[in-house]
A and B are shown apart, each in its own frame.
Chain A
Amino acid sequence: MLRRAVLQTFRQGLAQSFFKRNAVSLSETTVTHQPIETSDEADEKSVSKQKPGDESGNTVVVAPPEFRFMYPEFLPDPAMERRNRLKEKLERIDMLQRRSVVEIPEFYTGSVMAVTVADANSPNKFARFVGICIQRGGSGLRAWFILRNVVDKQGVEILYEMYCPLIQKIEVLRLERRLDESLLYLRDALPEYSTFPLDMEPERRLNNSVVPINPLKVKLRPRPWLERWERQNLQGVEDLNLPQRFYDKAEKVAKPWEKYDLMLQYRKTIPAEEQEKIFADVHSQLQQQEFKRKIRRRRGIDNEQ
């Protein structure tokens, strides 16, 4: 029903590409949000295409709309007092330079990753850590993500800065999404949900165009917890089974008007026109880098064979 309604709002060919990448938004947001959001992307094509001219008569290259989920750190911090276009441009140049040396793959919260870091105190001088990405944030060269794993019955979390030159390799062992943007509740969950073997092999996906959403519902340990999870509208958590007074207090403290606050959303995000410009800037270089890597990988496979 929902799918049909969304399909009717814009063209056929575009709808499929939208679903492939933005599948999570179907479950989260209300119906009213989507037409507003997607009408911007409806103007952009799924494959990067040349837009028929602007004033000067030059064709404009437009990045695919998925870029803002694949590379969210290219978008600057929305706080208006601290924004400067020149500085953001220079930062993006540096980010692309770093990406040309190290492959920073597409990943989301809930993906299992392995990071190899140069470490003077390790026996091999390199330290490799495998974990599930529970949170990611920062913008520009400050972008970071947190990996969590349980090693010898001890929960371990490591924050990695994506553009730190000590990082030798970032591999995504399992690329998937979860029902929440932040998986901090895994700290209060049963340890089996955060345990991943340190020698895990990268999993190959059959369908490369879709990023699967893992609808796993995690079981939490009994209280006390680190945060009041009942107040956070978590989708990926099993029924908390708390006494009713907790839910009553959560309702009292909740701010249900925030989802109607347009200015709040505006201040928290970069407007679509600016996002377009930023990704158009960055798009061709990223594509070139990916292309070179694919060739290198294919050559590597051929050499092995």
Chain B
Amino acid sequence: MFWLFFNHEQVRTMSRVKRRTTHPPYWHVLKNNQRQDEKISSDNLRFVREVIQDKYKNKSPIKGSDLDIEKKEWDPKTKRSGVIARNIGVQHMWEKDGKKVVCTVLHVLDNHVIRYVPPEEYAKSIIGAKVFRNRKPLGCLVVGAEAANPDRFTRQYCSLFSEVGLLPKKRLARFIVTPNAVLPPCTPLTAGHFVIGQAVDVYGKTIDYGFQGVVKRWGFKGGPASHGATKFHRRGGTIGTGRDKARVWPGQKMPGHMGSERRFCRGLKIVRINMKYNVIYVKGTVPGPTNSIVQIFDTLLPRRKFTEAPPHPTYFPPEDGTLPQEDIWDSSLHVFGSPSISV
């Protein structure tokens, strides 16, 4: 019955769970190289760069027809892969009736599939066991984005990619997929993976506000600005009763670190896709500051899932060489090149 009182009673679950850490998990491979000032001559540097280029020369693009894994049909219960993107800002667009809409611009980076972990293996790992404790296990696709110079990373980290023959990526992410949506390693994922009008979930780390007081962090009202208030303008006030339990309850709202937490924004609609620059415009806002990395995947919300088959398992450019339409707009949006709206 406590939900009836949630206005004046603090919810004290999850109070002891640590919400953020500065160190990565213990099973993470050490990533960044301790850069020593190596005095290499410019000729040798050039040679090293040539070797890197030769080693990681562009592979021919994977066609939809020659997928290793047998192509499976899409069904409403399929979970497709997601995509790593960067939130590059917010742009205003207008709908066909003149209503202004705030859209977030997401730039899909150079994503490549690194590895597929089949359901049986993933269910044995620590995280997989937790996630699939009472459910049927699903597979996991590891996707990487933003290729970088191998010099920056440790050998262990580069080895994750060298088996596949890719330049090491700055960012890795895991996406839970059903076995029929599996992609072979080295498959590129682009903005065409998504469909106009579909709903997506965007997962990112919120803006880091640092150590914040109780007014900004929890929305407390503080005290009066004048009328004789002595040193009580933005403070919390009382933190407990005297009698009941005679201590401060865990979960008591107090000043502390605010932000830099992982959050989902569910059910955001895709209103525009630019295939040339690999950019998606999503209606609404997304967790995290500008230029931060987010993960986008098909929505979990049951009423906004696909009714028709999307590009499954992902989008491949047409094999007859025809270029896709560069800029695709949702039917509800006003295209900028079209005549002004007359109501």
Which residues on A are within 8 Å of B, measured CB to CB?
81-84, 86-87, 90-91, 94-95, 97-98, 100-102, 118-120, 125-126, 140-142, 161, 163-168
Contacts of B343 in A (CB 8 A): 118-120, 125, 166
A81 touches B277 (CB 8 A): no
Q: How far is the CA of A125 from the CA of B342 in the complex (A)?
A: 8
Contacts of A168 in B (CB 8 A): 340, 342
B94 at the interface (CB under 8 A from A): yes
B290 touches A167 (CB 8 A): no
Contacts of A125 in B (CB 8 A): 342-343
Q: How far is the CA of A285 from the CA of B290 in the complex (A)?
A: 29
A90 touches B105 (CB 8 A): yes
Contacts of A95 in B (CB 8 A): 336
19 of the cross-chain contacts (CB-CB < 8 Å) are: A81-B291, A82-B290, A83-B290, A84-B88, A86-B277, A86-B279, A94-B336, A95-B336, A101-B337, A118-B341, A119-B343, A120-B343, A141-B93, A161-B92, A165-B334, A165-B341, A166-B98, A166-B341, A167-B340
Contacts of A161 in B (CB 8 A): 92, 100
Cβ-neighbour of B94 out of A81, A100, A165 (below 8 A): A165
A98 touches B277 (CB 8 A): no
A84 touches B290 (CB 8 A): yes
A141 touches B340 (CB 8 A): no
Known A-B contacts A118-B340, A166-B340; the reply to A140 vs B91 at CB < 8 A is: yes
Cβ-neighbour of B88 out of A87, A97, A142, A167 (below 8 A): A87
Known A-B contacts A87-B88, A90-B105, A125-B343; the reply to A164 vs B338 at CB < 8 A is: no
A118 touches B92 (CB 8 A): no
Q: How far is the CA of A86 from the CA of B337 in the complex (A)?
A: 20
Contacts of B105 in A (CB 8 A): 87, 90
A90 touches B279 (CB 8 A): yes
Question: What is the minimal beta-carbon distance from A162 to any residue of chain B, in angstroms?
Answer: 11
Known A-B contacts A86-B107, A90-B277, A97-B336; the reply to A81 vs B341 at CB < 8 A is: no
A165 touches B98 (CB 8 A): yes
Known A-B contacts A86-B277, A101-B338, A167-B340; the reply to A118 vs B98 at CB < 8 A is: yes
Question: What is the minimal beta-carbon distance from A301 to any residue of chain B, in angstroms?
Answer: 23
Known A-B contacts A84-B291, A87-B105, A164-B100; the reply to A102 vs B88 at CB < 8 A is: no
B279 touches A101 (CB 8 A): no
Residue of A nearest to B334 (CB): A165
Contacts of B98 in A (CB 8 A): 118, 164-166
The A-B contact count (CB < 8 A) is 77
B89 at the interface (CB under 8 A from A): yes
Question: What is the minimal beta-carbon distance from B88 to any residue of chain A, in angstroms?
Answer: 4
B92 touches A97 (CB 8 A): no
Which residues on B are within 8 Å of A, measured CB to CB?
88-89, 91-94, 98, 100, 105, 107, 274, 277, 279, 289-291, 334, 336-343
Interface majority SS on B: helix, strand, loop or mixed?
loop
Q: How far is the CA of A34 from the CA of B341 in the complex (A)?
A: 44
Contacts of A100 in B (CB 8 A): 337
Residue of B nearest to A101 (CB): B339
Contacts of A94 in B (CB 8 A): 91, 336
Interchain residue pairs A-B with the least CB separation, the first 7 = A97-B336, A84-B88, A87-B88, A97-B337, A87-B89, A120-B343, A166-B98
Q: How far is the CA of A301 from the CA of B277 in the complex (A)?
A: 42
Cβ-neighbour of A98 out of B100, B290, B336 (below 8 A): B336
Question: What is the minimal beta-carbon distance from A73 to any residue of chain B, in angstroms?
Answer: 12
Contacts of A84 in B (CB 8 A): 88-89, 107, 290-291
A91 touches B91 (CB 8 A): yes
Q: How far is the CA of A119 from the CA of B279 in the complex (A)?
A: 33
Contacts of B290 in A (CB 8 A): 81-84
Contacts of B337 in A (CB 8 A): 97-98, 100-101
Contacts of A140 in B (CB 8 A): 91
Contacts of B91 in A (CB 8 A): 87, 90-91, 94, 140-141
Contacts of B94 in A (CB 8 A): 164-166
Task: Taking A95-B336, A101-B336, A165-B340 as given, write out 8 further A-B residue pairs in contact, using a Cβ cutoff of 8 Å, ordered by the A residue number.
Answer: A83-B290, A90-B105, A90-B277, A141-B93, A161-B100, A165-B98, A166-B340, A168-B340
Contacts of A87 in B (CB 8 A): 88-89, 91, 105, 107
Q: How far is the CA of A127 from the CA of B100 in the complex (A)?
A: 19
Q: How far is the CA of A258 from the CA of B109 in the complex (A)?
A: 41
Known A-B contacts A84-B89, A165-B334; the reply to A118 vs B342 at CB < 8 A is: yes
- Centre residue among B290, B291, B340 by max chain A CB count within 10 A: B340
Residue of B nearest to A98 (CB): B336
Question: What is the minimal beta-carbon distance from B335 to any residue of chain A, in angstroms?
Answer: 8
Residue of A nearest to B336 (CB): A97
Contacts of A83 in B (CB 8 A): 290
Q: How far is the CA of A253 from the CA of B48 in the complex (A)?
A: 61
A82 touches B336 (CB 8 A): no
Cβ-neighbour of A90 out of B92, B274, B338, B342 (below 8 A): B274
Question: What is the minimal beta-carbon distance from A158 to any residue of chain B, in angstroms?
Answer: 15
Known A-B contacts A97-B337, A165-B98, A167-B340; the reply to A142 vs B92 at CB < 8 A is: yes
Question: What is the minimal beta-carbon distance from A81 to any residue of chain B, in angstroms?
Answer: 7
Contacts of A163 in B (CB 8 A): 92, 336
Question: What is the minimal beta-carbon distance from B154 to any residue of chain A, in angstroms?
Answer: 29
Question: What is the minimal beta-carbon distance from A180 to any residue of chain B, in angstroms?
Answer: 28
Q: How far is the CA of A163 from the CA of B337 in the complex (A)?
A: 11
Question: What is the minimal beta-carbon distance from B206 to any residue of chain A, in angstroms?
Answer: 15
A82 touches B338 (CB 8 A): no
Q: How far is the CA of A97 from the CA of B340 in the complex (A)?
A: 12
Q: How far is the CA of A93 from the CA of B76 in the complex (A)?
A: 38
A141 touches B92 (CB 8 A): yes
Q: How far is the CA of A86 from the CA of B108 in the complex (A)?
A: 12
Question: What is the minimal beta-carbon distance from B174 to any residue of chain A, in angstroms?
Answer: 26
Q: How far is the CA of A75 from the CA of B340 in the complex (A)?
A: 24
Contacts of A98 in B (CB 8 A): 336-337
